[in-house]
Chain A
Amino acid sequence: MAGNTETDMLKIKNLHASVEGKEILKGINLEVNPGEVHAIMGPNGSGKSTLASVIAGNEDFEVTDGTIELEGEELNELAPEERAHQGVFLSFQYPVEIPGVTVTNFMKTAINETRKARGLEEMPANEMLKKIREKSELLEIDRKFLSRSLNEGFSGGEKKRNEIFQMAMMEPKLAILDETDSGLDIDALKVVANGVNRLKTPQNATIVITHYQRLLDYIVPDHVHVLLNGKIVKSGGKELALELEEKGYDWIKQEAAV
């Protein structure tokens, strides 16, 4: 292992991934340090969700080259749940419905399975309840909501808010938020962004995938990357997002083509 004194939270080297023989990620390089917020932007179909899925270990995608490391440890061979146990969390662009399983039960299972994998006892019920109360207050979620079936019949915005509630419960090292802002109304966006900010510590890191500058007004990124056709073609500070908002992607496409 590299003798860095400061290990990256996430280090992606030359990552290639394909689905059904079609290459989607074509050599991604990305380094994220603890305490940082990175934003990934890019046109529809450029591979943002694919990158998130591949980091999380979705086996629909085949990694044909490159490595993904979390705190210096390679994730490539790990199953999705093992990556979750290591502290990777993905807020889904399209959260999935699980009929009959309440939000509370789902979180209880997720937390206890993760604790088990880490060699810890199950979380005592009162502690669990306290945590649920705390985090649902943070995200201004009605308690009644927590006894509904996971994502079943949730509105688009409710689903997204619920994803961030889960993130708050799981306390990941690396959180990837895939278009969490889409579907949220203006007030909800503030609540969710505020939640994300409150959960930030110098030890964890966040990757925010978004199309809009608006979210980045609240969750201020240290770095902004533009993903185009499976590659990061441009990186910069938060002002890059403003520039994109103003000018769109054409100029980047032209630059990249040169």
Chain B
Amino acid sequence: MAYTEEELKKELETKEYEYGFYTDIESDTFPVGLNEDIVRAISKKKEEPEWMTDWRLEAFRVWKEMEEPEWANVKYKKPDFQAISYYSAPSKKPKYDSLDEVDPELLDTFKKLGISLDEQKKLAGVAVDVVMDSVSVATTFKKTLAEKGIIFCSISEAIREYPELVKKYIGTVVPRKDNFYAALNSAVFSDGSFCYIPKGVRCPMELSTYFRINQAGTGQFERTLVIADEGSYVSYLEGCTAPMRDENQLHAAVVELIALDDAEIKYSTVQNWFPGDKEGKGGVFNFVTKRGICETNAKISWTQVETGSAVTWKYPSCVLKGDNSIGEFYSIAVTNNYQQADTGTKMIHLGRNTKSTIISKGISAGKSQNSYRGLVQINGRAENARNFSQCDSLLMGNECGAHTFPYIEAKNKTAQIEHEATTSKIGEDQIFYCNQRGIDTEKAIALIVNGFSKEVLNKLPMEFAVEAQKLLEISLEGSVG
């Protein structure tokens, strides 16, 4: 059997662990397994204050008592949590010396997405020889933000530099004991973003993790905290259309959004984790907890385009605590080959006159399974709460599945809840019609899918929308004969 150098290296690494190369916690990659010492060591690595260390330890204790959830409509081999290394220092050394060494298939996809050469290098982990444009872009960017008093940095930096803010808000929207993955994340998160918009400030540009160049890589256990102070506005972009390949199979992020009185947060995600090969091997498991809380008159919109991951389990939610607050969820989830997705949202109406809108578009192809699971909960105090949900599924071929699980709990009689659901199939007559106008089948499918997803694509910031559209095309390539 021929080994590539990469495989050989990996083999050697695991061998080392087998032989008990275990306790050198100072090394840059921690040994596999999870215990209190590892949690402490992560906190120490990050030079965190004691309260943070204790916070993590508490999360770890909670996690130990919890069981992995079973209820999502997905099947996978459960990860062995003691076989994962929970800390890896960001690699300073580039993985490759030139693009020639990178998987040509990956480069091909970059090209189709129209990603510049420099960016391709960065994404693939290739050394960049010239000073990249984005460095200067990022500098001017930071300056503009600082002038407005906006804080945008890594979560580790925030814990050190702005401990009062972090301490006040972290874990308030997604408590440590919220769920199995959230607890795990709280104990071991090592990376992530922090953002604070001061009172009355309208953030003048889309905040994108892309600009945080020193933290561009996405960690396995990311933690994001966005705080929009009273009357402020921010649009936050997460993710990247480029396919992310990662040796880490399990990803469990936590995102917390806090919209104080009259504030608005728009949170857009394009997610394209490696879904595994055509047989479904090697893809990423993506278990994310995303939640936002709205105070009086505040508004949070989640918009997401998901094409990646082998298994996705994700429910961006809104707690509509304040009166007149608004929650929105716009989602496109594409599954192909053997992918499985169980996504949706929860809208928790606590305040009076609260309003929520859910538009979910599921596209399934190949042998994939795509489920929408949504909860609309109207609490007793929530007078005149309103919800509108629309879940549309588009099927391609006969071997895929689409499922819709809407849960509604209304404890106030004044609630108005509307739910609409449709399932359609791309028809051969539609494809022939396009063909007859000179549009080949692949392009026809892209066109039909874009039309189907339009209401959600329209909610994305312009640039992101164009990229997302291309991404949809690529994800469905070759899905119909």
Using CB atoms and an 8 Å cutoff, list the residues of chain A in contact with chain B: 56-60, 79-81, 84-85, 88-90, 92, 95-101, 105-106, 109-111, 113-114, 117, 149, 166, 170
Is B112's beta carbon under 8 Å from chain A?
Answer: no
B452 CB contacts on chain A under 8 angstroms: 99-100
Q: Nearest chain A CB to B352's CB is how many angstroms away? A: 35
Contact count A vs B, C-beta below 8 Å: 77
Q: Nearest chain A CB to B236's CB is how many angstroms away? A: 27
Other-chain residue from B428, B429, B440 in contact with A113 (beta carbon distance below 8 A): B440
Q: Are A109 and B447 closer than 8 Å at their CB atoms? A: yes
A105 CB contacts on chain B under 8 angstroms: 447
Some 9 contacts from A to B, beta carbons below 8 A apart, are: A59-B432, A84-B438, A95-B433, A98-B448, A99-B451, A109-B447, A113-B443, A114-B437, A166-B437
Q: Are B433 and A109 closer than 8 Å at their CB atoms? A: no
From B429, B451, B455, residue with most partner A Cβ within 10 Å: B451
Interface size class on chain B is 20 to 34
Q: Which residue of B lies closest to A85 (CB)?
A: B438
Other-chain residue from B428, B441, B450 in contact with A60 (beta carbon distance below 8 A): B428
A79 CB contacts on chain B under 8 angstroms: 435, 440
Q: Are B453 and A100 closer than 8 Å at their CB atoms? A: yes
Is B172's beta carbon under 8 Å from chain A?
Answer: no
Q: Are A113 and B435 closer than 8 Å at their CB atoms? A: no
Other-chain residue from B428, B436, B441, B448 in contact with A90 (beta carbon distance below 8 A): B436
Q: Nearest chain A CB to B430's CB is how many angstroms away? A: 5
Is B439's beta carbon under 8 Å from chain A?
Answer: yes
Q: Are A96 and B437 closer than 8 Å at their CB atoms? A: no
Using CB atoms and an 8 Å cutoff, list the residues of chain B in contact with chain A: 427-430, 432-441, 443, 447-448, 450-455
A58 CB contacts on chain B under 8 angstroms: 432
Q: Nearest chain A CB to B433's CB is how many angstroms away? A: 4
Known: A96-B430, A96-B433. A101 touches B451 (CB 8 A): yes
Cα(A101)–Cα(B432), bound, Å: 16
B443 CB contacts on chain A under 8 angstroms: 109, 113
Q: Which residue of A lies closest to B443 (CB)?
A: A113
Q: Nearest chain A CB to B476's CB is how many angstroms away? A: 15
Cα(A117)–Cα(B455), bound, Å: 31
Q: Are A84 and B433 closer than 8 Å at their CB atoms? A: no
Q: Which residue of B lies closest to A94 (CB)?
A: B429
Q: Which residue of B lies closest to A96 (CB)?
A: B433
Other A-B pairs beyond A98-B448, A99-B451, 16, CB < 8 Å: A57-B435, A57-B436, A80-B435, A81-B438, A84-B438, A89-B436, A90-B436, A96-B433, A98-B451, A100-B453, A100-B455, A101-B448, A105-B447, A106-B437, A113-B437, A170-B437
Other-chain residue from A59, A95, A109, A149 in contact with B439 (beta carbon distance below 8 A): A109
